[in-house]
């Protein structure tokens, strides 16, 4: 073990947190770059009411980086010294860095959505159906619009889709909107449908999917959701949810270390945890 008193601590906070793959993913990255003497990544179960205290402790103890999961992503914003423009617009912070006692908040979730898509397509002008209107949808919609895609939001609760669409200047509607979803180039599921225990369910009827589409499900438990299995059968190109987890993580790794993240090593941790 190369950890010493000089090693910088990065911490993921959540409630619960023990299921998180972030520590293993980041530590594998530190080791691959030979910087596991400089950085270590741990997890701490923190109740939402104690977030403020943790932020104070982060300053006092000189903790280097803080990763936040839901619902801490929103709570933490109240207690930081600065929040970057992107995180403000998305309305959530998943990454905090300690710069000489000043805590700065960022959001890398949108890169988790955009980067896997940009590896296989150009987003500008593409018609994208975002399923869901919660926190994950906000990061997706922000990123897609920043890349000049044509975004429509579809949600079970239509009003929430319309509200989010209004805020970001795009369109929103119902998950039953078969023609619009069928005509999109890309479908991104940001709902929790498909995640255990809803792993036998689909967010949309399977006949909305065509072989020309890219289907990205940000659910990563199970690794391949029913939506992805069915989309693959119909000939669509699929992207697994772990790609979102990976790419929000590689962007975060680069903020914490100022080094290029070793993507393949970090992916291996997620695909074979």
Residue numbering of the annotated binding site for NADP(+):
132-136, 155-160, 218, 241
Nearest approach in angstroms of CB 116 to ligand ATR is: 17
Nearest approach in angstroms of CB 185 to ligand ATR is: 21
SS3 state at 262: coil
Exposure string over 159-183, b if 16+ CB within 10 A, otherwise e: ebbbebbeebebebbebebeeebbe
**Rg, the chain, Cα only:** 19
Closer to ligand ATR by CB, 188 or 239: give it.
Answer: 188
Closer to ligand ATR by CB, 56 or 159: give it.
Answer: 159
Residue 9: CB atoms within 10 A of its CB come to: 17
Nearest approach in angstroms of CB 223 to ligand ATR is: 18
Per annotation, catalytic residue among 73, 89, 126, 152: 73
Question: Is residue 85 exposed (0-12), middle (13-18) or buried (19+ Cβ within 10 Å)?
Answer: exposed
Closer to ligand ATR by CB, 63 or 68: give it.
Answer: 68
Pairing of strands 8-14, 65-68: parallel
Nearest approach in angstroms of CB 133 to ligand ATR is: 4
Q: Nearest to ligand ATR by Cβ — which residue?
A: 134
Question: Is 73 noted as a catalytic residue in this protein?
Answer: yes
H or E, element range at 113 = helix 109-118
Residues annotated within the binding site for shikimate are 20-22, 69, 94, 109, 220, 248
Residues 6+ apart with CB under 8 A from 154: 129, 130, 131, 132, 161, 172, 173, 174, 175, 177, 180, 181, 204
Closer to ligand ATR by CB, 30 or 220: give it.
Answer: 220
Cα–Cα distances in Å, from 181 out to 138, 149, 150, 172, 237? 18, 15, 12, 11, 16
Residues annotated within the binding site are 20-22, 69, 94, 109, 132-136, 155-160, 218, 220, 241, 248
Nearest approach in angstroms of CB 255 to ligand ATR is: 21
Residues that bind ligand ATR (CB under 6 A): 70, 132-137, 155-157, 160, 190-193, 203
Q: Give the catalytic positions in this structure.
A: 73
């Amino acid at each position: 073990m190369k950890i010493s008193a000089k090693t910088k601590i990065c911490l993921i906070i959540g409630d619960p947190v023990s299921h998180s793959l972030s520590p293993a993913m980041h530590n594998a990255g530190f080791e691959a770059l030979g910087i596991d003497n400089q950085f270590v990544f741990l997890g701490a179960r923190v109740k939402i009411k104690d977030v403020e205290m943790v932020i104070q402790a982060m300053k006092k103890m000189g903790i280097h980086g803080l990763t936040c999961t839901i619902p801490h992503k929103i709570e933490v914003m109240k207690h930081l010294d600065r929040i970057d423009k992107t995180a403000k617009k998305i309305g959530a912070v998943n990454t905090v860095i300690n710069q000489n006692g000043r805590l700065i908040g960022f959001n890398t979730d949108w890169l988790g959505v955009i980067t896997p898509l940009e590896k296989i397509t150009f987003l500008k002008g593409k018609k994208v159906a975002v399923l869901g209107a919660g926190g994950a949808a906000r990061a997706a919609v922000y990123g897609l619009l920043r890349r000049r895609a044509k975004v429509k939001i579809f949600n079970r609760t239509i009003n929430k889709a319309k509200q989010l669409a209004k805020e970001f200047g795009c369109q929103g509607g119902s998950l039953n909107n078969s023609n619009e979803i069928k005509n999109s180039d890309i479908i991104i599921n940001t709902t929790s449908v498909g995640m255990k225990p809803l792993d036998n369910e689909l967010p949309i009827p399977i006949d909305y999917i065509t072989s020309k589409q890219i289907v990205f499900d940000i659910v990563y438990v199970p690794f391949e959701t029913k939506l992805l299995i069915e989309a693959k059968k119909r000939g669509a190109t699929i992207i697994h949810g772990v790609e979102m987890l990976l790419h929000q993580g590689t962007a975060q790794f680069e903020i914490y270390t100022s080094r290029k993240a070793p993507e393949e090593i970090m992916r291996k941790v997620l695909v074979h945890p």
